[in-house]
Amino acid sequence: MKLVSRNAQKIIALCFASSLSTSAIAVGIHAQDRYEDELIKTIDSLSQQKIDPALQRIEKLVNENPKFKLAQLIYADLLMAKAQPLTNFGEKAKDNKKALKQLRSEAKQRWSHYVSPPNKKLIPASIIKLSDTTEYAVIVELDHSRLYVFKNENGIPKLVKDYYATIGKKGAGKYVEGDNKTPIGVYNVTRFIADSKLPDLYGSGAFPIDYPNKWDLRLGRTGHGIWLHGTPTNTYSRPPLSSEGCVALSNDDFTNLRSFVNVRKSPVVITRKINWINRNDWLAQRREHAELLDNWVNDWESLDNLRYLSNYSKEKFRSGKKNYLWWSNHKTKVNAKKSFINVELNDVSIFRYPGVENMLEFSFQQNYRSSNFNKVGNKRLYWQRNKDKQWQIIYEGPA
């Protein structure tokens, strides 16, 4: 039995490169994906040197889900540990070295999440405000191979679900077509595509997102076809870095995700790492950034053109191909013909834009009324803090 225990400990150490205590493991386990939960409980048993219960649990798991390659590998290692010492995780497996490395990476990402789950009392700093019509929002955390779902509870994002996720083979930061990277930014789901209309690679369906967005296009980023989707029918899950840039979930998880995602209503924030902050800091951030929008509206309605244009960056502002000089001249001419301007904003969402220092995205429905022109439409603004720590608009255009 001692030999088996040493082997079990070696499996844990080689799988996860960690010497975490049993108590830490127990705290990390919480019900999510049933198969992932069973895998983690197997590791928990191993950490307590309960070899037979671990073997029974993992054997049941692989019988229920033979497509779960990581579970198959740990099961094979446990069987081998009863017969002879192990020197490496998966050493007796027939998979090639690359495949074994990918499975170890998947094990580590799943394990890390369960050992250190997010504190549900904290709020992601990237979601500053969700519109009243937004029921759920999604954040993909690339560095941790995790997709989180947040419910809009009276304007406060509350974590309700999370899933293990696969991203691009080359990691994060998509820039050009075919680079096999997953983009970083704020996106929207544009439609749902059923599995019956897709090749088997995409599993139980797909949610395309609007990459490249306005910011991506401004930076010259290219590519298309970035989706949230499932996995091939002969595969339960894929290694952390194995898509061509999409975000892939197991088919069970993707089917579950469908109940939360509303087309054109559910924002998708893709970031390297989530910055979790406490409620008071989040509320202060929300007040500060919401005030920017209020001041912009007040300045616009004042008919004081200099005051209104002070909201825009002379150096960085762009609206399509139009720069600040064009915008300034155009707005000066247009506003001079008005006797009044009234701007009403609805369905406001505010995000701290990931991957860019001190940048905010505002999107809303704008009801513009003036003495000679009225218009209702959806708009997007990007704001960035300059060297003098002033927030200024660097993009304005349709959402």
pLDDT, tens digit (0-9, with 9 covering 90-100), for 218-257: 999 999 999 999 999 999 999 999 999 999 999 999 999 9
> What is the reported pLDDT for 18?
42
pLDDT, tens digit (0-9, with 9 covering 90-100), for 8-58: 455 555 555 443 443 333 334 333 478 998 988 888 887 777 878 888 999
Let me know whether 181 and 238 are in one domain. Answer: yes
Let me know whether 261 and 135 are in one domain. Answer: yes
- Is pLDDT above 80 for 5? no
**276, 311, 330 - which closes a domain:** 276
Burial of 250 (0-12, 13-18, 19+ CB in 10 A): buried
Nearest CA to 149 out of 319, 267, 67 is that of 267
pLDDT, tens digit (0-9, with 9 covering 90-100), for 64-82: 999 998 888 888 878 877 6
Let me know whether 104 and 201 are in one domain. Answer: no
Q: What percent of the chain has pLDDT over 70?
A: 88
Which pairing describes strands 374-385 and 146-153: parallel, antiparallel, or unpaired? Answer: unpaired
Q: Residue 167 and residue 184: Cα distance in Å, rounded?
A: 11
pLDDT, tens digit (0-9, with 9 covering 90-100), for 143-176: 999 999 999 998 899 999 999 999 999 999 999 9
Q: Is there a contact between 150 and 136 (Cβ–Cβ < 8 Å)?
A: yes
Let me know whether 146 and 257 are in one domain. Answer: yes
- Is pLDDT above 90 for 95? no
Which SS3 state, helix, strand or coil, does residue 204 take?
coil
pLDDT, tens digit (0-9, with 9 covering 90-100), for 335-373: 999 999 999 999 999 999 999 999 999 999 999 999 999
Let me know whether 136 and 216 are in one domain. Answer: yes
- The CA angle 281-282-286, to the nearest 5 degrees, is 120
Q: Residue 155 and residue 129: Cα distance in Å, rounded?
A: 6
Let me know whether 28 and 162 are in one domain. Answer: no
Let me know whether 290 and 259 are in one domain. Answer: no
> What is the reported pLDDT for 84?
54
**83, 115, 147 - which closes a domain:** 115
Q: Within 10 Å of residue 321's Cβ, how many Cβ atoms?
A: 6
> What is the reported pLDDT for 52?
83
Question: Where is 334: in which H helix or E strand?
Answer: helix 324-336
Residue type, 158: K
List the CATH number of the domain containing 329. Answer: 3.10.450.50
Let me know whether 43 and 169 are in one domain. Answer: no
Residue with the two structure tokens 């349709």: 398
Q: Average of pLDDT values for 319-328?
A: 95
Mean residue pLDDT across the chain: 89
**Number of structural domains found in the chain:** 3
pLDDT band, very low/low/confident/very high, at 88 (cuts 50, 70, 90): low
> What is the reported pLDDT for 86?
46
Let me know whether 135 and 267 are in one domain. Answer: yes
Q: Residue 114 and residue 68: Cα distance in Å, rounded?
A: 18
Let me know whether 132 and 253 are in one domain. Answer: yes
Q: Angle at which helices 2-16 and 69-81 pack, to 10 degrees?
A: 150
pLDDT, tens digit (0-9, with 9 covering 90-100), for 287-318: 999 999 999 999 999 999 999 999 999 999 99
**255, 276, 297 - which closes a domain:** 276
Let me know whether 265 and 167 are in one domain. Answer: yes
List the CATH number of the domain containing 232. Answer: 2.40.440.10
| C-alpha 32: how far from chain center | 17
> What is the reported pLDDT for 73?
85
> What is the reported pLDDT for 336?
95
Q: Within 10 Å of residue 72's Cβ, how many Cβ atoms?
A: 19
DSSP E strands in the chain: the ranges are 123-124, 127-129, 136-141, 146-153, 156-164, 167-168, 185-188, 193-194, 205-208, 227-229, 241-243, 247-248, 267-271, 276-277, 318-319, 322-323, 341-352, 359-370, 374-385, 391-398
Q: Average of pLDDT values for 264-276?
A: 97
For 35, the domain range is: 2-115
> Is the peptide bond between 212 and the residue preceding it cis, with omega within 30 degrees of 0?
yes
Cβ neighbours for 169, distance < 8 A, ≥ 6 positions apart: 180, 241, 242, 243, 244
Answer whether 0.85 is exceeded by the pTM: yes
DSSP 43-67: HHHHHTT-HHHHHHHHHHHHHH-TT
Let me know whether 50 and 154 are in one domain. Answer: no
Going by the DSSP 8-state scheme, the letter that residue 182 receives in this structure is B
